[in-house]
Amino acid sequence: MSLHLVKMAVGIEDLDHLDAVQKKRMGSRKGKSLRMRTRNTPQRTEPLLDGGSVYWIVKGYIRARQCILGIDRKTDDEGRSYCEIQLDPTLVKTQLYPRKPQQGWRYLEAEAAPADLSASGADADLPPEMAAELRELGLL
pLDDT value for 52: 93
The percent helix, strand, coil of the chain (3-state, each to 5) is: 20, 35, 40
Number of domains in the chain: 1
pLDDT value for 137: 72
Rounded CA Rg of the chain: 16
The range of the structural domain enclosing residue 93 comes to 3-136
The per-residue pLDDT for range 2-26, each reduced to its tens digit, is 899 999 999 999 999 999 998 888 8
pLDDT value for 76: 87
* pTM for the model: 0.81
DSSP per position, 48-89: HHTT-EEEEEETTEEEEEEEEEEEEEEE-TTS-EEEEEEE-S
User: Is the confidence at residue 53, as pLDDT, over 90?
Assistant: yes
- In angstroms, the CA 109 to CA 91 distance is 20
* Percentage of residues of the chain with pLDDT beyond 90: 55
Contact yes or no for 28/121 (Cβ under 8 A): no
The per-residue pLDDT for range 77-127, each reduced to its tens digit, is 898 999 999 999 999 999 888 999 889 899 999 999 998 887 545 566 677
Segment 36-52 mean pLDDT? 91
- In angstroms, the CA 77 to CA 127 distance is 46
